[in-house]
Structure 1
């Protein structure tokens, strides 16, 4: 069956409507969770029940068959209503997206899709999994014993499978990194509640501890040299960053919309100027994130350092623009926007999280500069 532009628009509209319904159900508790730092456990039940947690899974494998861009629209809509849940859910979604890229490039991801379609929530164990990784792995019969502390791991309290990597320092031939999946229920897995931050306080981004956890060979998807740029991270960057930034765009959407509502009756020149500057920053971010999805080609992009570099450059500029947009929302509203009685204040704290996803500005510019000048991304 041929899919037309009208069909795609109708499908996207349906996904947004579902996400809006979920967001509206969660919205009344957002302020309280921001104060307590408690993740919305019921949110992930809703995401399962409505099919959003499996939206990216192909229909023939039990999922919703959503496109990469449609998943971005889902996250954007959730970010309008519940920023912490949207960002935590983006961590699950980007892992599913990376598997979909693999599936579309001839690597069967059916086992993962089957789990997600059945309700599994995937949790990324965070920045600890970058090129060098951390932790300790040792070879045992039939697999490995692994120990590590991984943080931040957004949504870890509601996750069912941790997607992680562990450093195998004593591997034959030199240090290696294992990429593997570990069930939340495995012996030796625990969560330490360490997440106490300026923003995204209810994202449940605590520390996952693996204490001599047994990982069978079948759960290891990749063994690669440590300290060498791995092409798999190009895939992760291309799949993840558009989705993650879409959630933050939703956070900014809510701030801009509320600022426009609160300042609608003002006619003083400086308010018009601030509102225009806010619009410029918001539009810049939205256009950059839209370009990320366009270049993704629905997760058919080429696995190249240049593609990852371009995606990361857009991420940095988009993050700066989102922070500026929400700051300008506060200025447009005035003193009320600085008060914790106004939702914009929370969104200003939350949107700063965008700065810390891989790669932060200084690391990104070094990465992109090396790629532009013909070098490997790290060195």
Structure 2
């Protein structure tokens, strides 16, 4: 184990990501074409120790920083957006658990140790839950029975634990969201192959269906009133989205690189130069806002103001990445419409940046409420 830790600790994650990207790039188009999971990418990441990189050294992991992993996700995203996005889902859960253990003394060390010892891959249902959550918890002796269908569960094909929540109609406190980790294999759990989508087709984001799965009382990690902000969500907002949106910056960077390679073969043209300049400006916005998200994740204090700024950055990064890839299509010209260039796949993949919480309109409302001093739960 010590040898493994030393190997991971000395990893140059950018260099390692470049090596992985070179291997998985040739598989990206196939997974996009047949809606299959990016198995080669995940195998390469596991072999490199990526899935334990954010686990603190004291718990047997690599002790990598969020910025190191975010940079790696950008590099991987330039080659295969699906691999980067699916990997970011595991990574942000680990990062949040590590932050809570270090800064709050939360008992998340057990999960982090299991990630190392059992080579667990964690899956998030946050995209289909957020503050309202979904699914029901029925109280039974010793725990609850879970009935739910969780969409957008990236990596569910190979995942071990779904980090999720569901609603319990508490007779005293009313609708209460319970948070817990649910196994992704066994009786009462099934994966519905629903992931036939526009982009990010290789993420394996199928629906996870729970039909009366027993969740013991001891597995409940937290509870909160339904639909209301809770400190856990401020922590998630502070940390998770810098990692998730690194994948999209990577997609934009990859599209920009391919577009420039094509444009350099064409004659000098002032209109082409203007399109390239606009593409460069939009990518700089994405990079700067993503960099600020990582700064917030590594140095911020969770709360409404931090959440507001992180989510402002999330909106800016997402829109700038979408704009960058759109401009890359213009720079490349009609050839961009052909699948073989990879630009039309990047164009489809980057559209998914629109749909993670908080989407632009809810973000604008939240940011305005913080600025005005209004109730953020209003």
Confirm or deny a common fold (TM above 0.5).
Answer: yes
Q: CA deviation at 1:257?
A: 0.7
CA distance in 1, matches of 2:293, 2:319: 16
Question: Among 87, 90, 93, which residue is 1:92 paired with?
Answer: 90
Q: Helix, strand or coil for the counterpart of 1:35? A: helix
1:367 match: 366
The answer to whether the Cα contact below 8 Å between 2:238 and 2:296 also exists between their aligned partners in 1 is: no
Describe how 1:12-31 pairs up with structure 2 within 5 A: 14-31=12-29
Q: Which deviates the most, 29-38 or 168-177?
A: 168-177
Q: CA deviation at 1:12?
A: 9.3
CA distance in 2, matches of 1:278, 1:116: 40
2:37 match: 39
CA distance in 2, matches of 1:367, 1:194: 32
CA distance in 1, matches of 2:84, 2:278: 26
Kindly provide the CA deviation profile for residues 199-239 of structure 1, in whole angstroms up to 9, marking residues without a partner as x. Answer: 10111111011110000122110011112221211111111
Q: Helix, strand or coil for the counterpart of 2:158? A: coil
Q: CA deviation at 1:341?
A: 2.4
RMSD: 1.4
Describe how 1:205-284 pairs up with structure 2 within 5 A: 205-266=205-266, 267-284=268-285
Question: Among 42, 62, 65, which residue is 2:63 paired with?
Answer: 65
TM-score between the two structures when normalised by the length of structure 2: 0.94
TM-score between the two structures when normalised by the length of structure 1: 0.94
Change (3 A) 1:362 1:234: same
Q: Helix, strand or coil for the counterpart of 1:367? A: helix
Q: Helix, strand or coil for the counterpart of 1:195? A: coil
Kindly provide the CA deviation profile for residues 122-144 of structure 1, in whole angstroms up to 9, marking residues without a partner as x. Answer: 00013222111111101112111
2:296 match: 295
Change (3 A) 1:304 1:339: same
1:179 match: 179
CA distance in 2, matches of 1:97, 1:13: 18
Q: CA deviation at 1:363?
A: 1.2
Q: Helix, strand or coil for the counterpart of 2:163? A: strand
Kindly provide the CA deviation profile for residues 73-103 of structure 1, in whole angstroms up to 9, marking residues without a partner as x. Answer: 1111110111111101111111111111101
> Is 1:346 aligned to residue 345 of structure 2?
yes
2:305 match: 306
Q: Return 5+ residue gaps in structure 2 as ranges.
A: 1-8
2:5 match: none
Kindly provide the CA deviation profile for residues 181-202 of structure 1, in whole angstroms up to 9, marking residues without a partner as x. Answer: 0111242011101111111011
Q: Helix, strand or coil for the counterpart of 1:209? A: strand
1:128 match: 128
CA distance in 1, matches of 2:227, 2:286: 33
CA distance in 2, matches of 1:32, 1:45: 16
The answer to whether the Cα contact below 8 Å between 2:20 and 2:76 also exists between their aligned partners in 1 is: yes
1:80 match: 78
Q: Helix, strand or coil for the counterpart of 1:167? A: strand
CA distance in 2, matches of 1:38, 1:126: 22
Describe how 1:134-213 pairs up with structure 2 within 5 A: 134-213=134-213
> Is 1:328 aligned to residue 327 of structure 2?
yes
The answer to whether the Cα contact below 8 Å between 2:239 and 2:296 also exists between their aligned partners in 1 is: no
Q: Return 5+ residue gaps in structure 1 as ranges.
A: 1-10
The answer to whether the Cα contact below 8 Å between 2:252 and 2:346 also exists between their aligned partners in 1 is: yes
The answer to whether the Cα contact below 8 Å between 2:190 and 2:210 also exists between their aligned partners in 1 is: yes
Q: Which deviates the most, 350-359 or 99-108?
A: 99-108
How many residues end up aligned between the 2 structures?
A: 367
CA distance in 2, matches of 1:182, 1:171: 24
